Structure 1
Amino acid sequence: MTGGKKCSAGLSCGPLMLACTCSTPYNCRVNCSLIAEAYSEYQAFDCMTDKPHQCVIIGIAGASASGKSLIASTLYRELCYQVGDEHIGIISEGSYYKDQSGMTMTERVKTNYDHPSAMDHSLLFQYIQMLKAGLPIEMPVYSYVEHTRRPETLHLRPKKVIILEEILLLTDLRLRQEMNLSIFVDTPLDICLMRRMKRDVNERGRSMDSVIGEYQRTVRPMFLQFIEPSKQYADIIVPRGGKNRIAIDILKAKISQFFE
């Protein structure tokens, strides 16, 4: 690895020093060792191609159950068919909820998951920088049933285009500055609530009362305080959610330009 600047653990992070956000030598030793391992893989991959490593970041935000995940998955699936899955990837901000393995289940369920503080945006930002530097990442896997990260990770290699999606992406200045295109899915809250109730009861093992209670306590207030105001930062606003076929076609045409 290239020498140069050293992080707080004394490791030579070289060109990856920009990705080191660790506050203590111990954490830095663990995290930057993973970065160093990823960089070794990058060097092996890099020797096989002379093409510059460029990664385009597309951010899709909106209220919970607004249809943003449907838009993201539709774009991913159709663009994969068009350019191949080796050139496009998708990351959910929900994978970057903070690890709560050291908390009891009673403590975990009290977390306000619609507040920006519930997200590990620093780790997501670090991993975006790694992808832009041509490095693979190990994405966390979050369990919505256990309310914490699972022990396994998902390996993601650099792609030409990465689609980010979830509720709070546009609330973080660092993430916005990394995006080449930002999208806000604008769906009426009553429709979002009905979709959320169906999803959380059927897919996440929640009771109807708990879903409605959470909506009243945190989901709606946090939407009004954080998510809706972040709409001002979007380049494109999509009405009517994930079944807006005209909007999806327009977005697909725009994203396709990044592959040219």
Structure 2
Amino acid sequence: MSMSHIFRKSRLAVSCGILGVRISCRFIFTHKMSVKQAEFADTNGFESKTPFLIGVAGGTASGKSTVCQRIMEKLGQQHKEQTERRVVCISQDSFYRTLTPSERLRAERGQFNFDHPDAFDDKKLLTILKDILAGKKVEVPEYDYITNSISNRSHTIYPADVVLIEGILVFYFPEVRELFHMKLFVDTDSDTRLARRVPRDIMERGRDLEQVLNQYMNFVKPAFEEFCLPTKKFADVIIPRGADNLVAIDLIVHHIWDIMYKKRPVKIANGCNGHLEVEDGGSGRRMSGSSEDTLSR
């Protein structure tokens, strides 16, 4: 199926003025990955494979997790057993560092900055990602938002074809950023993000309204502008409106489908200012051809 036919089918409008999906003028499938993924024997009892690593960044409550969920749903991975999944997702929140006693007290009062790079154990994240790229089975800890600490529970990540890593600062640390084969930035309006964060933190994380608003104004918003937003320039694909951007999700799913089934990636043509700018026409139609029967909405 030609690229022009895919675009017609999806009702994509190429526009210089409205940014829907920005794709760098190059292969999305970078030089870091060969067309055929390497597979080799592993000592932990599972078939080892070098996965395609995708970073998903964006501000708080921008829809990063939802974008990852949509991708997994469309690829039919959401309800598979962990050992059978070919696409898995990991949250950067699992790599918050252990707080000191004084930091824990400040966190309980909503006075600790969890959006600052120093709040994360980037070395541990780097080690886990390198193990994943080496085709190893890894244990990823679970973070407890109520107690602001790493819980005793963890979940096992088995070798997979595609691994999604989502978090506010996944592009901030250079050594981590260089590991990604594709980088997505979920770009959502700040008012929308705040409107999502307030009820989430109150209902799911046991915060009160005053604490949530104070934390947002004193820590979350300044940290986003200083640390998260500047990493947008590293993204290969920028997704406005997050999971509501159906065309962007379908484009990414189509590319992941090609990776999973070892097809040669499609080269995207130039658009305005060296980027392809795609406006979501709201049709929500699939962009793929051979995968259309499988990618369920």
TM-score range, shorter chain: 0.7 to 0.9
Shift of 1:80: 3.4
CA contact (8 A) 1:138 1:156 kept: yes
2:149 equivalent to 1:153:
no
Query: Greater share of helix residues, 1 or 2?
Result: 1
Range moving further from structure 2, 150-159 or 135-144: 150-159
- Could you tell me how far apart the structure 1 residues matched to 2:156 and 2:91 are? 14
> Paired residue for 2:237?
236
> Paired residue for 2:163?
162
2:227 equivalent to 1:226:
yes
CA gap 1:236/1:106 in 2 versus in 1, 3 angstroms: same
Q: Percent identity?
A: 31
- Could you tell me how far apart the structure 2 residues matched to 1:231 and 1:104 are? 29
> Paired residue for 1:64?
60
Mapping of 1:86-97 within 5 angstroms? Answer: 86-97=85-96
Read off the aligned partner of 2:94 and give its amino acid letter.
S
Over 2 Å off, 4+ runs: 80-86, 100-105, 107-111
> Paired residue for 1:187?
188
More relative contact order, 1 or 2 (CA 8 Å, 6+ apart):
2
> Paired residue for 2:49?
53
Shift of 1:97: 0.7
Q: TM-score, normalization: structure 2?
A: 0.68
* 1:44-71 per-position Cα deviation (integer Å, ceiling 9, x unaligned): 425xx5xx62111011110101111110
**Aligned length in residues:** 216
Read off the aligned partner of 2:139 and give its amino acid letter.
E
- Could you tell me how far apart the structure 1 residues matched to 2:214 and 2:143 are? 22
Shift of 1:81: 4.2
> Paired residue for 1:13?
none
- Could you tell me how far apart the structure 1 residues matched to 2:166 and 2:256 are? 15
* 1:169-189 per-position Cα deviation (integer Å, ceiling 9, x unaligned): 111111111101000011111
Read off the aligned partner of 2:76 and give its amino acid letter.
C
Shift of 1:130: 0.6
CA contact (8 A) 1:184 1:236 kept: yes
Q: TM-score, normalization: structure 1?
A: 0.78
Structure 1: where are the runs of 5+ without partners?
1-40
Shift of 1:88: 1.4
Q: Name the Cα RMSD after superposition.
A: 2.1
Give the secondary-structure state (helix, strand or coil) at the position aligned to 2:251.
Answer: helix
> Paired residue for 1:111?
112
